[in-house]
Chain A
Amino acid sequence: MSDAAYPTQWRRPPMMVKSRFWRIALTVGAIIYLVLALGTIEVNYARVVEGLSRAQRFVAGFLQPDFTSRSRDIWIGIAESLTMTFTSTVVGVLISIPIGLGAARNIAPRAVYLVCRSIIAVSRSLQEVIIAIFFVALFGFGAFAGFLTLSFATIGFIGKLLAEDIEDIDEAQAEAIRATGASWVQLVNYGIQPQVMPRLIGLSLYRLDINFRESAVIGIVGAGGIGGTLNTALGRYEYDTAGAILLIIIAIVMVAEYSSGYLRRFLK
């Protein structure tokens, strides 16, 4: 072996993919995909140019939002969204507690476990908007369909996280309660509830936050709330009202995020 075999320059080793062949193959594949995918974008430039003046008006509307001329519609939308958010979170959490208990492997029998897990899987795999479409078709337009949608989505979210939390509890405490001859209900009440309660409250507050965001969206398909008002405002090309609604949504989301974060730290 001669000296030339030793490199005098340091080169950084590849960070992600070790084999040279796969690095090249992945790069080439990515480039081919990008060319194909970008090729399918059809842009109607005449329409875009026409839209630019609208974009300008939208930005202007955002900078000078109009809260007053449609204030009644906005107020109804906000009130519907907020009440829908709160009631659906409460109902969703209440229903998800038994389902979460049933979906925890360490305290539920196998048959119950499978049923509860499949309820959770169904609730989680469907988008809120798709559920909302169905509930609007079944229960008519308005906040009630939205309330059902958000409750249904809450069940999957809280149920899954609660079940995982119960599966992770300190078994020693549950064992101690069992050793006193406690029934199943007493075991849940004294052995498990104190361990998971702080996290359950935190999750509920987090879900409240998510439900408000979602309530702004499901209104677009007719399930009540501020989304419907926004859709109407954009349909009428009233960008100043739309800007006002968006600003209100951002403000409420920010307040909800900070206060729920603060509350969760306080409850810990």
Chain B
Amino acid sequence: MSMATPQTAVWHHRTPKTRLAMWAGWLACVALFVWCWEMMTERTIWAFVYDAPVAANDLLGRAFPPKWDYIERLLWPLWDTMNIATLGTLLGIVLAVPLAFLAASNTTPSRHILRPAALFLIVASRSINSLIWALLLVSILGPGILAGIIAIGLRSVGFIGKLLYEAIEETDIRQIEAVTATGASQAQILNYGIVPQVLPTFFGISVFRWDINIRESAILGLVGAGGIGLQLQASMSVLAWNQVSLILLVILGTVVVSEWVSAKVRHAII
């Protein structure tokens, strides 16, 4: 790397050629940025942007103090939100566990057909956000928490499936061989050789996903999938910003509590 050519008295970290290449690379990045910026702001109405400080002032003035007595009408949606997150996580687990065993290279029954299919399902589920799943399901099932639960479940499949199949692939082969050597059947190998090894990871992943799902289920109501987001949407559409600020505080509190619970549980397991 550090080639000091005999002619120069000063040491340089890189050769002139590398420096030129890096300079060209940075120039390309800047040019791409400027081009993207131009394209992005093509349709921006700058009057609104310049007006933002006034708007922000106005908004904050309306949002504070929060309308505290509105909290009575938030308790039931909050319970719905918890249910969407918990039942959605359970649905995700139920769907993800078989997929993970199909996708892991050491437990898959067919390496060429089922494994790629399972991997595709896992990637597809992960690349679509739960809000988009909810948007689809609300237009199919109608508004309500069922759409929210299924949306959360379908998004969780990819997350839990991916982390779980990686955990299954990392299991200690010696324990599995020991169980195999006793003459155990395939199901027994799974039950006594693999499951005990991945169980702590599995619970850790599930609780982690539950924590993420609490955050996501709080906003699913924006597209009509139940929970506290419905109240958020209703308050925003009548521009009741003092209700919006209270809802945001409630969401923030729930997120902090769920994060604390999940950290405690994961700490206890692992």
Contact = CB atoms under 8 A, between A and B. Distances in A.
Contacts of A32: none
Contacts, number: 141
B162 to A, nearest CB: 11
A195 interface: no
B24 interface: no
Contact of A55 (B140, B144, B255): B140
Contacts of A83: 36-37, 39-40
Contact of B87 (A38, A43, A144, A253): A38
A129 B43 contact: no
Interface stretch (A95-103, A158-166, A213-221): A213-221
A139 B40 CA distance: 14
Interface in B49-87: 49, 52, 55-56, 59, 79-80, 83, 86-87
Interface stretch (B105-113, B123-131, B170-178): B123-131
B135 A125 contact: no
A15 interface: yes
Secondary structure type dominating chain A contacts: helix
B199 interface: yes
B203 interface: yes
Interface in A11-50: 12, 15-16, 33, 37-38, 40-44, 47-48, 50
A54 B86 CA distance: 28
Given A51-B142, A139-B49, A143-B41, A230 B132 contact: yes
Contacts of B39: 79-80, 83
Interface string B217-256: 0110011000000000000100000000000100110011
A242 B136 CA distance: 9
A80 B269 CA distance: 44
B59 to A, nearest CB: 6
Interface in A48-100: 48, 50-52, 54-55, 58, 79-80, 82-84, 86-87, 90
Contacts of A220: 131-132, 135, 222-223
B44 interface: yes
Contact of B144 (A43, A129, A130): A43
A147 B40 contact: yes
Interface string A190-229: 0000000000000000000000011011001100000100
A138 B59 CA distance: 8
Contacts of A90: 29, 33
Nearest to A76: B43
Given A58-B136, A127-B215, A40 B40 contact: no
A221 B222 contact: yes
B44 A40 contact: no
State which size class the interface on B falls in.
35 or more
B42 to A, nearest CB: 9
A33 to B, nearest CB: 8
Contacts of B127: 213, 249-250, 253-254, 257
A92 to B, nearest CB: 12
Contacts of A15: 196, 199
A217 B129 contact: yes
B149 interface: yes
A47 B36 contact: no
Contacts of A227: 132
B48 interface: yes
Interface string B174-211: 00000000000000000010001001000100000000
A187 B136 CA distance: 53
A137 interface: yes
B256 to A, nearest CB: 7
24 contacts: A15-B196, A16-B203, A33-B86, A37-B87, A40-B145, A41-B87, A51-B140, A54-B139, A80-B39, A87-B36, A127-B219, A130-B219, A138-B55, A140-B49, A144-B44, A216-B129, A217-B131, A220-B132, A220-B135, A237-B139, A242-B136, A246-B128, A249-B127, A254-B123
Interface of B: 29, 32-33, 36-37, 39-41, 43-45, 48-49, 52, 55-56, 59, 79-80, 83, 86-87, 123-124, 127-129, 131-132, 135-136, 139-142, 144-146, 149, 192, 196, 199, 203, 215-216, 218-219, 222-223, 236, 248, 251-252, 255-256, 269
